[in-house]
A = this chain, B = another copy of it.
Amino acid sequence: MTTQTGQVFTKVALIGVGLIGSSIAHAMRRGSLAAHIAGHSGSADTRKRAGDLGFCHSMHEDPLDATRDADLVVLCTPVGAFGQIAQAIAPALKPGAILTDVGSVKMAVLRDVGPHVPSGVHFIPGHPIAGTEHSGPESGFAELFDGRWCILTPPPGVDAVALETLSAFWRGCGSRVEIMDAKHHDLVLAITSHVPHLIAYNIVGTASDLEQVTQNEVIKFSAGGFRDFTRIASSDPTMWRDVFLNNREAVLEVLGRFSEDLARLQRAIRWGEGDMLFELFTTTRAIRRGVIEAGQDTPAPNFGRDAKKPRTTP
């Protein structure tokens, strides 16, 4: 992995210090990317916990105080709060500063944040494709972005130097950087992240509502596949509510395709069309190989979750 290190910013403001915000702080410290990291959380409890962990140099109740004099401001709250936050911090954004975010949707961010950005401030939405099912300031770690992609969706006419500075920042955090149109981002993420989360939440919900099978049975016998879905379905509820409310069009489009395809599978099972099932199950294996070859997952069985490997008996 190529990472760039060395100070990029004098002051970085993290508006939100949960999983992603705290991970950015850890990654910035690892790469010496900022002289001062200022954090904001609206919750006194979160400020206290983040303060105790010490990944920020200063913690602020008022996002204006965190933002003041910052060269880089990163919105790291659930996207539903972005509009209000942008409005609140606008007076403190200094000319020449870069304003970015880590939200999982990008069209809505352009819509909600764009109108509040003062002229002279470089607004470049972004989305690091990385995370875990855990949330809160304790869950962050410096390696979260290593080898993962960060997508930037600059509006037309973006300042080229600001775009390169932000790209260098993300590379310094361990990411690879991709530039993409916001609308296309939202469609790509609908299929690679949003609809997968939705169907994981849904199957876990279905399982807990079945009358004939107890929750205890569902949990005991989850190693047959279900447990993988429970991990995804334990991601932060507020963040995910906001994702679905703010990427409606793309999610509904992909969901429509998913449901059509599922109906075809349902029919194949009903009519015993084994060849059709076998062909699909073979095709999907190739995609898995692609994911592993692209360095986006481990080849270890069961994700290596048991830290045990196949071996031969002497």
Contact = CB atoms under 8 A, between A and B. Distances in A.
A240 B281 contact: yes
Q: Classify the secondary structure of A's interface with B.
A: helix
A129 interface: yes
B313 A227 contact: no
A258 B312 CA distance: 41
A287 interface: yes
Contacts of A130: 223
A139 interface: yes
Interface string A112-144: 000000000000000001111110001111110
A10 interface: no
Contacts of A197: 225
B203 A218 contact: no
Given A148-B223, A278-B238, A304 B302 contact: no
Contacts of A104: 224
Contacts of A291: 219, 222, 227, 230
A313 B29 contact: yes
21 contacts: A54-B313, A132-B301, A143-B308, A151-B221, A188-B217, A191-B226, A196-B226, A197-B225, A200-B225, A202-B262, A205-B283, A205-B284, A220-B294, A228-B232, A233-B284, A237-B282, A238-B278, A240-B281, A241-B274, A242-B274, A298-B305
B224 A301 contact: no
A111 interface: no
Contacts of A309: 141
A297 B226 CA distance: 10
A228 B228 contact: yes
B209 A261 contact: yes
Given A193-B224, A283-B208, A304-B304, A312 B251 contact: no
A155 B192 CA distance: 45
A196 B228 CA distance: 9
Nearest to A275: B241
Given A104-B224, A307-B304, A313-B55, A234 B285 contact: yes
A288 interface: yes
Contacts of A187: 212-213
A203 B237 contact: no
A48 interface: no
A301 B139 contact: yes
